[in-house]
Amino acid sequence: MNLRVNTPFAAAVAIAAGLFMLASLFIPGLEEPRNRVLNWAVLLAALAMLLGLANLFTVHFDKVRNKQQPAYSAVLILAMLIAFGLTVWEGSQAQLPSWIFNNIQSPVEASLMAVLAISLTLAAARLLQNRNDLMSIVFVMALFILLVGSGPLFGIEIPFFTSVLGPYVSQFLSTGAMRGLLIGVALGTLLTGLRILIGADRPYGG
Amino acid sequence: MPTQPVQDPEENLPDWLRALRKRQSQEPSEGLGAENAPSDLPAAASEPEPRQEPSWLQEIRARYKKTTGSLPATEGTELGDTQPHRVKAADQAPVEETPAAEETQPPMEEPQAVKETPPAFEEEIPESQDEESGAEETIKPSYTPAFTEDQVPIDPGVLPSWLQALRPGGSYPTEDARSGEMLPGVEETSGPLAGLSDVLPADASIARVEKPPVYSARLEVTENQGLHAAVFIKMLDETEPPPVDEAHRVARPTRVLNLIMATVLFLSVLFPLVTQSQTAGLPDPQLFPEATNVYSLIDGLPAGAPVLVAFEVQPALNGEITPLAIAILGHLLDRQAQLVFISTRPSGPALAERMLQEQFSAVPAVATGAYTQLGYLSGGLAALRSFISDPRGATLSTMSAGADAWQNSSLDPIRGINSFALIVVVSSNAEDARAWIEQGAGVLPNGLVAVTSAQAAPLLRAYLQSDPLTLLGLVSGIQGAALYERLRAQDGGLGRAYWDAYSYGIGAIMLLILLGGLYGRLIRMKPEKPITSGAARGT
Amino acid sequence: MELNQELLSQIGLLAAAVLTLITLSYAIGDHPLFRLALYLFIGVAAGYAAAVAVQDIVLPQLVFPILNEVAGTPSLDLVELGVRSLLAVLLFAKLSPRTARLGNPVTAMLAGIGAALAIGGAVQGTLLPQIGAAAGTFDVASFELALQGGYYGEGIRIIFDGVVVLLATVSTLAYFHFGAASRGKQEPLRSIFIDALAWAGSVFIAIALAALFSGVLLAALGALIERLAFLREVALMFMGAP
């Protein structure tokens, strides 16, 4: 049986859902149906996370079967199944799931962020040694000012940087540019959303 | 018509063809050859005598006689109409052919590679059939002939009416537009078919000796194309020339260099932690009015005021934000605020609970459980919007345990999001805080404050002066923690404990960036050594 | 299943310390132990997040109501339950390539809702407030007060700050402006004014990027401090120090 759901139907659903949501934001009296629809979206988002887990499992299971770094993928699958099973069975606040979260997930994730400090330092050093154009020079100078202005160096405070230059760069120069970037991002978000609402973009597989 | 080089027709002919021509020229044509041959045809092109007809031709004649019987009388004239170059049959005498000659097919003495030309063949058939119709009894044809003997013959050159009606409109050239080589009666003058007429030119272009035409190599360029070409040339001229691929030393990050940098940074940070030094000066609150706003807002809360704490912390930056979150939560608990926790991240409720139990287990409000964990709000923006619009109607994870968090009587005064005296967003990245600001804009008249990681502060600072104002205050990072502890005149806090390590760490980073950059530049300034083949291969 | 809390805590601290050391050793270079720790982390994080979503949302909002309905003790309106079940089934059709198209309307609904919320948030939460902030860059009230008090230097500083912030905002937007008027058959060029603004915008963008970079660097430094502090505590604990 060839089950086909035509593209216009999916686009119509997207447009209708989006327009309804937009209208409910401005038209009073639509709160109850809006919240009902939002609750459906909440449920679907949770199901989508489950789908993502299934996809991850499938990908790594294929790697184990095809012997492409099977040891690593096997460790991943085992860890995933144990964490999933224990948390669903006992609850996220139970002893074992909390132990897994606090002693495996948190330390590794925090350590990865800590290693980033060295990587970023190295990246800044390479920028200093390789690039000579205006943007690189301004970038490095601003970086120096902001780092020195964020606190004392080896316990020694440099008042001009921490009291004058650093706050000026962060509160005026950087903020003005950030405002421009935020306006640009908001315009881009607006246009992208409108393209989805008029059916010009169909990221949902239509 | 181009001139053709004259060749001796007999020069390169095969032997059999030469013999055929010789025979044709020597033997007198007996009715058949002379009668059938057109008046403008040379004797060499005459047809072979009936007795020398090939057997297949004789078979066809016999078959034709048997099936069709008598032939139309006007066949000759018909042929003359459609094929003006053919010899009219009326001009020819009927072919005298005895039945015996047709029935008995004498074997061909000489192979005849030359096929009979169609005109002679076609002209022969009706004549022989005419003879046959006299010799044998007439065989009535199975079809109705288009023309009968009684019918008035069509004048040559005049199209019958029915044919004229079929002709499409338009004028037709009356002259023969064929090339000279195809004209009737033109003899081939070169090649193996020399002397024959009505043949395709044998040496059309192959044997022609003439100067080939010279074609112009000049490119025809229109004005528009010229303009576009000029633009391309200009673009190419404006591009910088590719850098010369010179061998130069590059200070590549080797493992040793990485090890040195990591060691310097680790030792710089570890040293004050181990020695527990607290010598670095704390930040000046006057330089951070946004942090002072947060302090003022929390300090101004009445006792028992409900405060929503959105704990959007990821485990990666939990360590960095913990000192600040402890300072803020400590202040809130000191003000006896009624804390309500929620998170749009799966790990948020667990991290919040862990922080409360590890840091504030001695506080009565925490020890007695006088706070509320609404749990995990799944669904991203949709869930957040749903919660902000109707906190009691949103789908929360605490309901899965069978316990509706809203059943807590202390939450009875909270009917909507505006019932909270303050909303504190504790976030490790800018996107989560932005989501709260954007979805809460226009719905949160009291606004909210952000307690974030250092990486979120630059982006969120732009919201501090927005109009209408949603973000009322901002405090971030370890600097924010040290600052907030100073505002609260709090000693022994985690922010203070980390502040010296933070200070040494910044110094180490600055040093490494400067030295690393200078090292790389010095390396490139050293004179180059000639590259050996081994070095080029990387060995 | 309750295990010995203290033993579990000790094992947990040791495991956390070992994993921290292995991950920090990536600063020197990649090695198999680091990859093993990374794959372990990914598996645990994915399983935990999905489990929280399933346990806290899927089970109480979908599975248990279905079971209650089957058992004859409905806890939810039948129509509502039917809609939820249908949406769930259609979404799960995405698992197979053959039936993936059945899930398109569901993902389309999510996309439409997300787009609408993003539009609303972007306009109400960012675009209008930030434009308002850019329009109100000049602190007019403070400027008047400074003039009234005779603090002309302060007044000039207020004006100068406002000009700088406004210039930063406008020039940053001009940097991303690539429209140019047609000049007939000649190549289109941006106007000189826009070009100059864009050049200034590139300087401000470099400053903004430096601010973001420094923010991430300082956050990473904070994470490093916390990790090293943790290692120190674990080391002291196992050495028996107070």
Closest to B332 measured CA to CA, from B455, B405, B426:
B426
B490: exposed, middle or buried (C-beta count within 10 Å: 0-12, 13-18, 19+)?
middle
- Which residues does chain A have within 8 Å of residue C43's beta carbon, measured at their own beta carbons? 75-80, 83
Looking at chain C, the whole-number percentage of residues with pLDDT higher than 90 is 43
Residue A151 has pLDDT above 80, yes or no: yes
Touching B (3+ Cβ pairs <8 A), the chains are A, C
Determine contact, residues B2/B211, Cβ cutoff 8 Å: no
Q: How far apart are CA A38 and CA A195, in angstroms?
A: 21
Average pLDDT (B15-30) is 73
Looking at chain B, the whole-number percentage of residues with pLDDT higher than 90 is 28
Average pLDDT (B123-143) is 47
pLDDT category of residue C144 using cuts at 50, 70 and 90: confident
Q: Same domain for A146 and A186?
A: yes
Number of domains in chain A: 2
Tell me how long chain A is.
206
Tell me which DSSP letter residue B463 carries: G
B32: exposed, middle or buried (C-beta count within 10 Å: 0-12, 13-18, 19+)?
buried
* A72/C207 Cβ within 8 A: no
Give the pLDDT of residue C145.
85
With CA atoms as reference, the chain C residue closest to A135 would be C206
With CA atoms as reference, the chain B residue closest to A112 would be B316
- Which residues does chain A have within 8 Å of residue B390's beta carbon, measured at their own beta carbons? 31, 35
With CA atoms as reference, the chain B residue closest to C64 would be B400
Q: Could you give the C-alpha distances from B313 to B310, B319, B336, B450, in angstroms and in order?
A: 9, 10, 23, 12
The string of DSSP letters for chain A reads ------HHHHHHHHHHHHHHHHHHHHSTT-HHHHHHHHHHHHHHHHHHHHHHHHHHHHHHHHHHHTTSSHHHHHHHHHHHHHHHHHHHHH-TTSHHHHHHIIIIIHHHHHHHHHHHHHHHHHHHHHHHHH--SHHHHHHHHHHHHHHHHTS-BTTB--HIIIIIIHHHIIIIIHHHHHHHHHHHHHHHHHHHHHHHHTTS--TT--
Structure tokens given for C203: 């300087």
With CA atoms as reference, the chain A residue closest to B346 would be A92
Instruction: Read off the amino acid at residue B225.
Output: Q
Instruction: Read off the amino acid at residue C168.
Output: A
Q: Same domain for A144 and A189?
A: yes
Q: Same domain for A117 and A137?
A: no
Residue B130 has pLDDT above 70, yes or no: no
Q: pLDDT for C56-66, tens place per residue?
A: 888 888 999 99
Q: Containing domain of residue A101, as a range?
A: 95-125
A176 belongs to a structural domain: yes
Give the pLDDT of residue C135.
83
Q: From the list B261, B283, B385, which residue is nearest A122 (CB)?
A: B261
User: Where is pLDDT greater, at A11 or B39?
Assistant: A11
Give the pLDDT of residue B201.
66
Phi–psi pair at A60, nearest 5 degrees? -80, -25
The partner residues of B373 in beta bridges, in order of sequence, read B341
Interface of B with A in 365-384 (CB under 8 A): 377-380, 382-383
Rounded to the nearest 10 degrees, how much is the dihedral formed by the CA atoms of B115, B117, B122, B125?
-40
- Which residues does chain A have within 8 Å of residue B378's beta carbon, measured at their own beta carbons? 42, 45-46, 49
- Which residues does chain B have within 8 Å of residue A180's beta carbon, measured at their own beta carbons? none
Closest to A44 measured CA to CA, from C58, B393, C69, B392:
C58
Structure tokens given for B491: 């000693």
What is the predicted ipTM?
Answer: 0.85
Kindly state the greatest CA–CA separation across chain C.
83
Domain boundaries along the sequence of chain B: 9-207, 247-276+498-539, 277-490
Helix extents (H) in B289-419 = 289-299, 318-334, 348-359, 364-367, 380-389
* C120/A75 Cβ within 8 A: no
Closest to B464 measured CA to CA, from C155, C143, A174, A187:
A174
With CA atoms as reference, the chain A residue closest to B266 would be A118
Give the pLDDT of residue B41.
42
- Which residues does chain A have within 8 Å of residue C173's beta carbon, measured at their own beta carbons? 180, 183-184
Q: pLDDT for A76-124, tens place per residue?
A: 999 999 999 999 998 888 889 999 999 999 999 999 999 999 999 989 9
Looking at chain B, the whole-number percentage of residues with pLDDT higher than 70 is 63
Distance from CA of C212 to the nearest CA of B (A): 6
**Residue where a domain stops, chosen among A79, A110, A125:** A125
A186 belongs to a structural domain: yes
Residue B115 has pLDDT above 50, yes or no: no
The partner residues of B424 in beta bridges, in order of sequence, read B309, B449
Closest to A40 measured CA to CA, from C62, B280, B298:
C62
Distance from CA of C119 to the nearest CA of A (A): 5
Could you give the 3-state DSSP secondary structure of residue B307? strand
Distance from CA of C152 to the nearest CA of B (A): 22
Tell me how long chain B is.
539
Least confident of B304-313, B408-417, C59-68, C177-186: C177-186
The class (CATH top level) of B277-490 is alpha beta
Q: How far apart are CA B13 and CA B32, in angstroms?
A: 26
Which of B314, B390, B463, B509 is the mutation pick for testing A, counting most A CBs within 10 A?
B509
A27 belongs to a structural domain: no
Tell me if chain A has a CB within 8 Å of the CB of B284: yes
pLDDT category of residue A6 using cuts at 50, 70 and 90: low
Q: pLDDT for B467-525, tens place per residue?
A: 778 899 999 999 999 999 999 998 889 999 999 999 999 999 999 999 888 887 777 66
Q: Cα-atom radius of gyration of chain C, to the nearest Å?
A: 30
Q: Same domain for A192 and A136?
A: yes
Q: From the list C50, C164, C211, which residue is nearest A50 (CB)?
A: C50
Q: pLDDT for B312-341, tens place per residue?
A: 999 999 999 999 999 999 999 999 999 999
**For all residues of chain B together, what is the average pLDDT?**
74
Determine contact, residues B353/A93, Cβ cutoff 8 Å: yes
Touching A (3+ Cβ pairs <8 A), the chains are B, C
Q: Could you give the C-alpha distances from A165 to B156, B282, C191, C212, in angstroms and in order?
A: 112, 18, 34, 17
Q: How far apart are CA A92 and CA C49, in angstroms?
A: 10
With CA atoms as reference, the chain B residue closest to C46 would be B346
With CA atoms as reference, the chain B residue closest to C217 would be B455
Give the pLDDT of residue B155.
62
pLDDT category of residue B114 using cuts at 50, 70 and 90: very low
- Which residues does chain A have within 8 Å of residue B500's beta carbon, measured at their own beta carbons? 155
Q: How far apart are CA B321 and CA B337, in angstroms?
A: 21
Q: How far apart are CA B89 and CA B81, in angstroms?
A: 11
A55 belongs to a structural domain: no
Q: pLDDT for B352-409, tens place per residue?
A: 999 999 999 999 888 888 889 888 887 788 888 888 888 887 766 655 455 567 777 7
Q: Same domain for A136 and A189?
A: yes
Helix extents (H) in B98-213 = 99-103, 118-135, 161-166
The rounded Cα C15 to chain-centroid distance in angstroms is: 29
* B251/A128 Cβ within 8 A: no
Termini Cα distance of chain A: 20
Structure tokens given for B362: 């001695």
Q: From the list B273, B320, B468, which residue is nearest C222 (CB)?
A: B320
A170 belongs to a structural domain: yes
Determine contact, residues B452/B479, Cβ cutoff 8 Å: no
A99 belongs to a structural domain: yes
Closest to B424 measured CA to CA, from B324, B329, B308, B322:
B308
Q: From the list C28, C49, C217, which residue is nearest B346 (CB)?
A: C49
Q: pLDDT for B333-350, tens place per residue?
A: 999 999 999 999 888 988
Least confident of B188-197, B258-267, C188-197: B188-197
- Which residues does chain B have within 8 Å of residue A130's beta carbon, measured at their own beta carbons? 520
- Report whether the peptide linkage leading into residue B468 is cis, meaning its omega lies within 30 degrees of zero: yes
Residue B2 has pLDDT above 60, yes or no: no
Tell me if chain C has a CB within 8 Å of the CB of B346: yes
CB pairs under 8 A between A and B: 169
Q: Same domain for A144 and A117?
A: no
Give the pLDDT of residue B104.
45
Cβ neighbours, 10 Å, residue B220: 6
Q: How far apart are CA C49 and CA B122, in angstroms?
A: 95
Interface of B with C in 192-231 (CB under 8 A): 224, 227, 231
Q: Same domain for A109 and A136?
A: no
Which of C126, C221, C234 is the mutation pick for testing B, counting most B CBs within 10 A?
C221
**Residue where a domain stops, chosen among A75, A106, A125:** A125
Average pLDDT (B157-181) is 63
pLDDT category of residue B96 using cuts at 50, 70 and 90: very low
Tell me if chain A has a CB within 8 Å of the CB of B390: yes
